[in-house]
Chain A
């Protein structure tokens, strides 16, 4: 296994929390966490939180400052308070952890490394070995090791199980050859969860194995992809003789599809905002931001803002829908907190939440009017496009991917029809046939 000392939570990083045990009353836990915040969260951030909540914190704190401070948070265990101490958490009951999340929300302490926490960790908890958890979870919590996901391929998106990347045995190692795409954070990642085909002679779902692969090795090359918003958020990853030790296989050989299911459900929740992790939407701000923007527009005497009854009606409809979405997400989280695996409701949330976010972000861009279509900038510099664009335009363009990433709306509607409503399955003429015989894209 990739060597790296990886201790769990560091008690010296959070002496304020030392006396908290599984039976400590929630009120005492919250007092201890408040003391920790007082001692460790920089004063300007705390003042900003007290004066204007998370939005004000975002204004006074740069992402770089937050990243520089993050190890303090990571070592405290508060990033994953429900996890065992040896994994980097605090072993607190789920209800306590949820109450703590509520308390810290106003300080805006988002969890970095969401692909590790939301995708890799569930797979490790469900199917990993104790050695794997001890090795990988603590540095994941601290974001010392950032994670990415090597699932999608140019020819295998919605039909992920048709993937072609091959893993071949070489003694105690596996040798990987293939090409992956849409990999977020491949440039920062130390590790990736990887699906690769270990047996082409069995049906497509049965020949896949799940690995944890070291991204920093000679057999891996990454190339950036520029997306609609002009940024290079995604990468293509070329695996050319990359190597993984068998100790970093998760689950059985050929059992990777089952392991991936734990991960995909996590991704759907993340994109839909139902996750208990730090990402509440991918692309843009909330309807509260819209309403502020509309009020400002009207206060400045512009047309089409809060004083425009048609726009006001549109914003209020979106606000109501977003509240309904948020309450539904709370229900999912409550279920997860009681130990229920996220199931069909994550597909429902994915379909609704992503389409809703696109409508919210479209309204935000509409509020800008012409300023959302053209703006001052260095038009001749290709990097300037993303840099100079208004935040609302960035949110609108980014949200366009929401109904595609993490399972398209069409695939998720099929999942809902088949697994929730019990409707007949989409006919599959290749069912049961070996992967080798399938026509490829």
Chain B
């Protein structure tokens, strides 16, 4: 997409977020429900397929373009982005990276238009960042496979039309290896449990998903048998930059809320923004936001050029997810007692932000990835 078109979309999305989504934020948190009208508007603007190529009906944004869009999306409740995050993220990408031409033709347009909501079904009771304990099985049956297992904390599960399921081959040449299969929600044997209770990000639903003797055709397998996990891992760097940009957007919002409150709230006869210790908190948050933004933009440019697709994304995800934790924490502190009470955006963002340090690879996983890259590069030089 060229720059002028992108600028037009950014204006559109910015207006959508600020005029339409932000007024619903408090109700979304309270009722744990995303209004259907917002889903329709997101689909209309193309948000279900911004990372999917234009030939499949998406916007086909580059990484550098995507992070600018996602920073806008981050400026409101993360539940809004969750609606279409998987379509653009791991589900769409796994298809792009590993799907056959037929699979791409059939499925990508449905994801890009928002006709389908996709769910990414990797996590299990004993498997998350480390897939070693992955127990969901894939057994050859007739011309296809049978899927058997239970997934945990699956985002969008209650509303998903399709699940990208990670399962381990129980037999055949790929026995023991992990593949990705596309399972439509209505398939017999697929059950979605009750919505989980969550600390934050209300309005984005997670639930357990059960697969009991679920029969899928061979064409549901993405890539060749046993390749799925490797394909998914290649998509992770994209997701990390995406989350980093989202954190920058949310941190900017938390900072704006902080500054607005500090100017309006008076104690000791003057706005609390006049006190040096409050100024110190604001300065630290502003510095954090600018540092995060600069890191994401430079890492996205290196991603697009191919100069670096591993180190930068992990550094950006690690720094920005921790950074938004600090900024939302300071937002609560500046708001004082009000910041601890329901109904104030700062309170909500504090709960929302915590997830970012955990999913798409915890901070500890990012540290390992970063150190490995740095040490490997150093070893290569000596």
Q: How far is the CB of A306 from chain B (nearest CB, A)?
A: 14
Stretch from B66-74, B123-131, B251-259 forming part of the interface with A:
B123-131
Q: Known contacts being A374-B206, A410-B277, is A227 close to B341, with CB within 8 Å?
A: yes
Q: Known contacts being A378-B194, A379-B196, A384-B197, is A401 close to B340, with CB within 8 Å?
A: yes
- A-B CB pair tally, cutoff 8 Å: 134
Q: Within the complex, which residue of A369, A389, A413 is in contact with B277, where a contact is CB–CB below 8 Å?
A: A413
Stretch from A185-193, A214-222, A328-336, A426-434 forming part of the interface with B:
A426-434
Q: Does B153 contact A (CB under 8 A)?
A: yes
Q: How far is the CA of A162 from the CA of B355 in the complex (A)?
A: 39
With A156-B267, A228-B340, A374-B199 given, can you name 18 additional A-B contacts, CB distance below 8 Å? A152-B337, A158-B267, A162-B268, A227-B342, A228-B351, A230-B342, A369-B128, A373-B198, A375-B198, A376-B197, A377-B197, A379-B205, A384-B197, A397-B199, A404-B337, A409-B333, A441-B265, A441-B267
Chosen A-B contacts, 28 in total, with CB atoms closer than 8 Å, are A158-B272, A162-B267, A162-B268, A162-B269, A225-B341, A227-B341, A228-B340, A234-B341, A308-B364, A369-B358, A370-B128, A370-B153, A373-B199, A373-B354, A373-B355, A374-B199, A377-B196, A379-B198, A380-B195, A400-B350, A401-B340, A404-B336, A404-B337, A404-B340, A408-B333, A410-B275, A413-B277, A429-B269
Interface members, chain B 347-374 (any A CB < 8 Å)? 347, 350-351, 354-355, 358-359, 362, 364, 367
Residue of B nearest to A384 (CB): B197
Taking CB atoms, residues of chain B closer than 8 Å to A156 are 267
Interface 1/0s, chain B 27-43, versus A by CB < 8 A?
00010100000000000
Taking CB atoms, residues of chain A closer than 8 Å to B212 are none
State whether B362 touches A369 (Cβ < 8 A): yes
State whether B197 touches A378 (Cβ < 8 A): yes
Taking CB atoms, residues of chain B closer than 8 Å to A365 are 354
Q: Does A310 contact B (CB under 8 A)?
A: yes
State whether B195 touches A379 (Cβ < 8 A): yes
Q: Does B224 contact A (CB under 8 A)?
A: no
Q: Within the complex, which residue of A159, A227, A374, A405 is in contact with B268, where a contact is CB–CB below 8 Å?
A: A159
Q: How far is the CB of B217 from chain A (nearest CB, A)?
A: 32
Residue of A nearest to B269 (CB): A430
Interface 1/0s, chain B 148-183, versus A by CB < 8 A?
000011000000000000000000000000000000
State whether B197 touches A374 (Cβ < 8 A): yes
Describe B's contact surface by its main secondary structure: mixed
Q: Does B287 contact A (CB under 8 A)?
A: no
Residue of A nearest to B357 (CB): A366
Taking CB atoms, residues of chain B closer than 8 Å to A159 are 267-269
Q: How far is the CA of A414 from the CA of B276 in the complex (A)?
A: 10
Q: How far is the CA of A401 from the CA of B343 in the complex (A)?
A: 16
Q: Does A157 contact B (CB under 8 A)?
A: yes
Q: Which 10 A-B pairs have the closest CB atoms?
A: A377-B197, A159-B267, A441-B266, A430-B269, A374-B196, A410-B277, A379-B195, A226-B342, A159-B268, A374-B198
Interface 1/0s, chain B 191-222, versus A by CB < 8 A?
00011111110000110000000000000000
Interface 1/0s, chain A 308-339, versus B by CB < 8 A?
10110000000000000000000000000000
Q: Does B339 contact A (CB under 8 A)?
A: yes
State whether A414 touches B194 (Cβ < 8 A): no
State whether A389 touches B197 (Cβ < 8 A): yes
Q: How far is the CA of A77 from the CA of B206 in the complex (A)?
A: 53
Taking CB atoms, residues of chain B closer than 8 Å to A441 are 265-267
Most chain A beta carbons < 10 A, residue from B30, B278, B336, B342: B336
